[in-house]
Structures are given as structure tokens and as C-alpha cells.
Amino acid sequence: MDNNHALNTALASAREDYIASHPESWRQFSAAQQHLPGGNTRTVLFYEPFPLRITSGDGCKIRDVDGFEYVNFLGEYTAGLFGHNNQAIRDAVVQALDNGISLSGHCQDEARLAQLICNRFPSVDKVRFTNSGTEANMLAITAARHYTSRQSVMVFRGAYHGGLLSFAHGTNPVNAPFEYLIGTYNDIEKTRQMIRSHTADIACILVEPVQGAGGCIPASETFLQVLRDEAREARIVLIFDEIMTSRLAPAGMQGYYGIIPDMSTFGKYMGGGLSFGAFGGKSEIMDLFDPTHPESMPHAGTFNNNVLTMAAGVTALGSILTKSRLKALNSRGNELRSTLNRVAAQQGIPIQFTGLGSMIGIHATVNPITSIDDLEQSDDRIVELLFLDMLKSGFYFARRGFISLMLTIGDKEVTDLINAFEHFVRDRKSIISQD
């Protein structure tokens, strides 16, 4: 039996085992399809043959409707940084509830959270809140277009800046109708040429310092510096999408590299696990939204400053997310990535772990990865087989191959994951090995 056939057979068997082991998840998924398209209201959570239905979470573990418990290495795609029931955040939210929901005005915590963000990130003189990272990026783009009186938005293939700004395959039918220039991530010369050829049209460059949904691929420091230099020279607004990456260092990737954009966008974990988004930057740009000015741009949103998120965010950023905790978390992620790559290389299997700090991507290729173009030869069957085998062993991460460590993940959980991966390699090496 050749490896290709053996891999297909093993994957089919793993899928059958998954279906047989999760009858209640299947039943609830089927029932949900009556009122939700495909039983789904969040595309990223869907995978074949059907996704798990999760009932509860505690610390770093979650439980599904069939009674299985998993160590959660997905961490809600970076939003679940604080674990499933951080007591300080719970207390802050309960206090906010006790004081009343939807107070019809400004609350005290919105100014406190704004100060914490401005003090933490060097690009942010002033900030405004939204309900999601998607909104934050949409408003940052709109501000840049108004500020520069230009129209085009430069992004990079593989980028994900929210549900209405997705470029995994170049264009997307639901994307907001801006004028886009789509470059190649980490390609310095092509990027420089594109910027210089369209200087008069480009309002902003929107970039993730580490592409998250695009494969957890870090930008090189040189690439980011070229963006900074070219944008400054051409009077283009440089926007760092730090919705995910702001958790990789105390001052985000802008602080890590000392490369300061004109604007930054935030979201995910920063609301303590509640719905949150924010965009900020230089005063001269952000003051476009100052309602005390007669020509200001409007920015509404009933829940922009909702009391629950504001209270949770103040506690999360102000009390929990210290420099030492972030350093320890990202060191743990780097060590985990290095160990997993070493195991894969020693055993000669085509699996590679990318990323930076506490964000890790999983790819079935040994080729160097600097952009989404390098993932075309990745064998998705191997990634799925790893996902199903690790799930059976009690470890949960994204089906597409993405890990995001939570603060509640400790040395034991990391060691157990490594041991489970080594077991996977021993069991599956004969069908996935390049030998």
C-alpha cells in the first residue's frame, strides 16, 4: 500500500471514529441547521464532518456535549487569553452588573481603559472603542482615507482583518467595497515597487505583524521597517493590525521591534474575553472623530462603551496582564514551537510549526514559509489527521492548524501536548514520512 492510499485510509478511519464518538454533537449540529445556515453562525468554527458542541470551560479545559474534556490550546483564536473563568475578571463584570446595564451615557471605565491602552502602545495618542476587530479596522481605514484624501487600501494576500476584510485567497465576495492593492507578504522588493507605483492613490497600508489566519506567519523586521519608511516618505498612513499580535509583547509588536505605525487596531483578548475592538493612533488623525469639532466624522455604536467590556478590559490590562506574565507566556510558546519542530525534524515527517511567542501555526510541509504562497504544497490531510488524533488524546486546537496559548496553560499541559504529538508521530510516521 503506497503512502498516499494509506494516508487516505487512516484519515477515513479517524473521521469514522470521530463521528461514532460524538453522537450528541452530531445530533445538535443537525438540529441547528433548521435555523442556522449549515448549523453555523461563525464560519471559522465549522469543519467536516461536523464541529463539536462545547458546554463549559474551566481554567484551561473545555467539555463537549458528549462528555469529553479537552485541554484548550485554541484559546478562542487569541481572545481567550485569560482562561475560561478568571476570578478577577468575573468580579469586575459582576460589579458592573450590580451597578446597572446599559446606563445611557459615559461610564467611568471607558476613560480608564483608554488610558491603559494609550500608555501601553507607543503609536496610540488617542483611542476609540468598537465592538469587534472588524469594526476597528474598517474605521481605521476610513479615517486614513479621509485624512489623506486618497482612496486605495494596501493589504497583503493571506491577511485577515475581520469578517469584511479577508484576503486569504486575494479577494472575498463579502469584503467591504474599498479599492484594494494586494501585495505579497514579506516580499520587500515587490512591496516597495507597488507602493512607489501607486503613491498618489494609497491612503493606508494595513498589515498584521504576524499573519494569524493566513498561517501564523511572522513578518520580518526588515519588511515592517520598509513599510514604515516607504509610508512615511509617501505620506501614507501605516496601520498595524495588532488585534492578535499585541499579546506577543508588553507593547505589542510595535514595541517589540521599535517600529511605530501611525495607527493601530486592537481586539480579541483586550476586553477580558468579552466582545471588544479599538482603533487608535496619532492625535491629528484621531481628532477627526472629536465631536467638539464642527466638521468631525461620526462614529456611533450603542455598545462601544458597554459597561461589561469596559470593566473587564480595565481589570485585564490594568491588573492581570503584567510584563512578567506576558514574557513567561510567550517564552512558553517559543519553547513549545521549538520542541515540536525538533520532534518533527528528527523523525523526518513533513510537519512544520510557525509563529511567534504564544501563537503557533501547523503546516504539513518542510519548505520555508514566508507568505501564504508557500503553503500551496501543504498537505491538509496530514493536518486534519493530526487534529483528529490530538482531539482523541484530549487536546483541542483549530482544525486548520492553529494554537493560541492561554495564561492558564502550564508546564504540565505543554509537556502532555508534546508527549501526545510524539505518540502521533510514532503511530503515523509510516504513512506521512517523506522517506
Q: Domains in the chain, ordered, with CATH? A: 3-81+324-432 (3.90.1150.10), 87-320 (3.40.640.10)
Q: Is the pLDDT of residue 415 over 70?
A: yes
Nearest one of 282, 274, 339 to 313, comparing CA atoms: 274
d(CA 267, CA 277): 4
With contact defined as beta carbons under 8 Å apart, do 144 and 155 qualify? Answer: no
- Which one is predicted more confidently, 377 or 162? 162
For the CA atoms of 183, 185, 190, 194, the dihedral, rounded to the nearest 10 degrees, stands at 30
CA within 13 Å, CB half, 384: 18
- Residue 264: phi and psi, rounded to 5, are -140, 150
Q: Give the residue carrying C-alpha cell 492593492.
A: 181
Angle between helices 221-234 and 188-197 (to 10 degrees): 10
- Mean predicted confidence (pLDDT) in 264-272: 97
What's the burial of 149, exposed, middle or buried (CB within 10 Å: 0-12/13-18/19+)?
A: exposed
- Mean predicted confidence (pLDDT) in 120-147: 98
What is the per-residue pLDDT for 3? 83
Model pTM greater than 0.85?
yes
Q: What is the sign of the dihedral through the CA atoms of 404, 409, 415 and 416?
A: negative
CA within 13 Å, CB half, 348: 6
Question: What is the pLDDT confidence band of residue 172, given thresholds at 50, 70 and 90?
Answer: confident
d(CA 310, CA 318): 11
- Mean predicted confidence (pLDDT) in 5-20: 96
Strands 61-64 and 69-72: antiparallel
% of the chain surpassing 70 pLDDT: 99
- Mean predicted confidence (pLDDT) in 334-345: 98
d(CA 362, CA 354): 7
User: How does pLDDT run across 188-204, given as a tens digit for each residue?
Assistant: 999 999 999 999 999 99
Which residues are registered as beta bridge partners of 361?
A: 354, 402
**Secondary structure (3-state) at 278:** strand
Exposed e or buried b per residue across 32-58, where buried means at least 16 C-beta atoms within 10 angstroms of its C-beta: beeeeeebeeeeeeeeeebbbbeeebe
Strands 263-267 and 237-241: parallel
User: How does pLDDT run across 229-252, given as a tens digit for each residue?
Assistant: 999 999 999 999 999 999 999 999
CA within 13 Å, CB half, 122: 13
What is the per-residue pLDDT for 433? 82
What is the per-residue pLDDT for 408? 98
With contact defined as beta carbons under 8 Å apart, do 238 and 262 qualify? Answer: yes
What is the per-residue pLDDT for 131? 97
d(CA 332, CA 359): 10
Nearest one of 25, 8, 137 to 391, comparing CA atoms: 25
Other Cβ atoms within 10 Å of 426 Cβ, number: 10
**Secondary structure (3-state) at 416:** helix
Say which residues have a Cβ less than 8 Å from residue 219's Cβ, sequence separation at least 6. 185, 186, 207, 208, 209, 210, 211
Nearest one of 50, 52, 72, 48 to 380, comparing CA atoms: 48
Looking only at Cα atoms, what is the longest distance across the chain? 75
First to last CA, the chain: 15
User: How does pLDDT run across 35-56, given as a tens digit for each residue?
Assistant: 999 999 999 999 999 999 999 9
d(CA 154, CA 183): 7
Q: Is the pLDDT of residue 279 over 60?
A: yes
Question: What is the pLDDT confidence band of residue 213, given thresholds at 50, 70 and 90?
Answer: very high
Q: Give the residue carrying C-alpha cell 520580518.
A: 220
Q: Is the pLDDT of residue 435 over 60?
A: no
Question: What is the pLDDT confidence band of residue 171, given thresholds at 50, 70 and 90?
Answer: confident
With contact defined as beta carbons under 8 Å apart, do 267 and 277 qualify? Answer: yes
Angle between helices 3-21 and 380-392 (to 10 degrees): 40
What is the per-residue pLDDT for 36? 97
- Which one is predicted more confidently, 1 or 22? 22
Instruction: Report the alpha-carbon angle 279-253-317, nearest 5.
Output: 60
What is the per-residue pLDDT for 285? 98
- Mean predicted confidence (pLDDT) in 362-382: 96
d(CA 252, CA 239): 13
Q: Is the pLDDT of residue 1 over 60?
A: no
- Mean predicted confidence (pLDDT) in 84-108: 96
d(CA 264, CA 287): 15
**DSSP conformation letters of 392-422:** HTTEE-BTTTEEE--TT--HHHHHHHHHHHH
**Secondary structure (3-state) at 119:** helix
Question: What is the pLDDT confidence band of residue 2, given thresholds at 50, 70 and 90?
Answer: confident
Compute CA distances 262 → 204, 236, 285, whole Å: 10, 9, 9
- Mean predicted confidence (pLDDT) in 164-176: 89
d(CA 176, CA 179): 9
Q: Is the pLDDT of residue 359 over 60?
A: yes
Question: What is the pLDDT confidence band of residue 434, given thresholds at 50, 70 and 90?
Answer: low
259: part of which helix (H) or strand (E)?
none
